[in-house]
Chains A and B, each alone.
Chain A
Amino acid sequence: MTFVLLVLCVVSFAVGSVPISPERILHSLIKLLTGNFSIASEEELILFSVRLPRIIFAGLVGAALSLGGVIFQAILRNPLADPYILGISGGSALGAIIGIVIGAGSFYLGIPVLAFLGALATVFLVFTVAGSARSPLPDNSLLLSGVVVNAFFSAAILFFLSIVNSMELRSITFWLMGDLSGASTREVAIAAVCLLVGFILLYAQANKLNLIVQGEDTARYLGVHVEKTKRGLLIVTSLIISVAVSLAGIIGFVGIMVPHFMRLVFGSDHRLLLPVSALFGASFLMVADTLARVVIAPAELPVGVITALCGAPYFIFLLKRNQY
């Protein structure tokens, strides 16, 4: 899986609206690796300050969303759960937009913090709606509640969009569909640190996730403090989702397709599922973003368009087949 990721990395690196020949890329890469590197040409400028951060950024966001999907599916024991479908991404986006409207952007990290609070609030809302362990909502009611929560957030977001000045409108709309073009090196670094810390914290719970998936009572019989574990997992997951959303906007369906596909290939043990999902999610979003860059080049699509175009039919296929 790491290998797949690296290959796709190089491929995405090479593909773009400005064609750059493979030899020149190789040449530049060798220059970079041997240490005597300075940006010498326009091509290298495109490669290293536009494409490279963006590829890494796409990878980070893809990994974050996939991890979010794995965790929500495990805790809810519902293979159709994902941050987008449950409305967590929407809540996070609403938090961020409120931040933009009230001008929190002038504070350092103001908008990501509000996005985090939005995500956290939605997570706890969804889990209250989902009911206690004793009277859990049936699988599909949970998805229905996600639809309702999403509709509410969309309305709220549209409300705020109507009152902001129209100059910002296009960028916000683009962001709402998932947009990786705004990646700066600093943002990528912040996202990388958050994701790495988040992943380590989640991975430390991988064993317990396996038990929770067997049912909360079973997990208790086997010695897991379920409430405490769930609370911790949800907070960490909200954090990495809100990092992804506040930087890249709403990108749907990554969190449902990737874990499902990985489970088919690698089984359900979270000690394996978490890392492979993160790697595959990274590869997946990288490819989707590369497509988004080149399909209507020199213009580009929001990457959310690509993920929704393949994700929505896949979701319906899963729902229809009713065997996850």
Chain B
Amino acid sequence: MPAIEARNINFSYTAKSVIEDVSFTIDEAQRVAVIGPNGSGKTTLLKIISGTLFPHSGQMIVDGQETGKWQRKEIARKVAMVPQDTSRIFPFYAEEIVLMGRFPHLGRYRFEDKRDYQLVREAMEKTNTLAFADRRFNELSAGERQRVLIARALAQEPEILLLDESTAFLDLKHQVRFLSLLQQLNALQKLTVVFVTHDLNLAARNASRIILLDNGKIYAIGSPAEVITSANIKGVYDVHARVDANPYDGSPSVTLLTTQQSFDFKGNASHTMP
């Protein structure tokens, strides 16, 4: 049974459709990247998988059941989402924010117990956020807040983790730490990961499959080598790019070219190639 299955889903906020006839399956313990230009429907797709938006037609099936049929609390025990950012109007401590990840596991009218605090501690250790557990969330930097939100999602103990540009504000060290953590959770706990990113190289290096969205439709889907090609990049993003094999592991590596560079590149190519 696939972890996530979309069958011909359509969705729109207003008259203009945002997701159009999208179908795919994601197996358990896969790592899938969702890429595409601004406004191509990436975040909306994540929200549909999380069961907070529902397709207007078609079916989104998570763990064998349509998202509309899950109780909110039940699906929150399976699917965790790390959103781009959250409201910071009221001052909460970072630890309180992470503790909120335990909510779907709490019984009605029950307070968190020792085990909940233990899991929160572990999640904060993994994301290197323990140092500011007792600082106010709204006073942290963007990258620090992002790590706290990741910790909250880990405390949720999900089977499926959805990440909406969660590496965007992380510095190099924390990006690497986070990606290693994902690999580890993926391998050891069979965590299914779906992440949205603008970084094509990051997607190519860390995903086993890639979904390329354009205007709410699937433009390409498959292995990184199948999806990340200069033809697809030109078709969707309207930019010239050179795609090489990464010398480390052979995954596609993208170099974006300015108009002038792409002219030089083609010029050179015609000189050097017989």
A residues at B contact (CB < 8 Å)? 74, 77-79, 134, 204, 207-208, 210-211, 213-215, 217-218, 220-225, 263, 267-269, 271, 324
A223 & B13 in contact (Cβ 8 Å cutoff): no
Q: Classify the secondary structure of B's interface with A.
A: mixed
B residues at A contact (CB < 8 Å)? 13, 47, 50, 52, 72-77, 79-81, 83, 86-87, 89-93, 96-97, 100-101, 103-104, 106, 109, 111, 156
B96 & A269 in contact (Cβ 8 Å cutoff): yes
The CA-CA distance from A207 to B111 in the complex, in Å, is: 9
Most chain A CB inside 10 Å of its own CB: which residue of B50, B79, B103: B103
The CA-CA distance from A208 to B92 in the complex, in Å, is: 14
A268 & B73 in contact (Cβ 8 Å cutoff): no
CB contact between B50 and one of A207, A221, A224 (< 8 Å): that residue: A221
Q: Classify the secondary structure of A's interface with B.
A: loop
The CA-CA distance from A224 to B109 in the complex, in Å, is: 14
The CA-CA distance from A244 to B47 in the complex, in Å, is: 41
The CA-CA distance from A234 to B101 in the complex, in Å, is: 25
A268 & B90 in contact (Cβ 8 Å cutoff): yes
Contacts of B100 in A (CB 8 A): 210-211, 214, 222
B87 & A215 in contact (Cβ 8 Å cutoff): yes
B96 & A210 in contact (Cβ 8 Å cutoff): yes
A225 & B72 in contact (Cβ 8 Å cutoff): yes
Contacts of A218 in B (CB 8 A): 83, 86-87
* 20 additional contacts (CB under 8 A) given A79-B89, A222-B103, A269-B96: A77-B87, A134-B13, A207-B106, A208-B103, A213-B92, A214-B97, A220-B50, A221-B52, A221-B81, A221-B83, A222-B101, A222-B156, A224-B73, A224-B103, A225-B72, A225-B73, A263-B90, A263-B91, A267-B96, A269-B92
Closest residue of chain A to B47 (Cβ to Cβ) is A217
In the assembled complex, the CB of A310 is this many whole angstroms from the nearest CB of chain B, namely 23
Closest residue of chain A to B106 (Cβ to Cβ) is A207
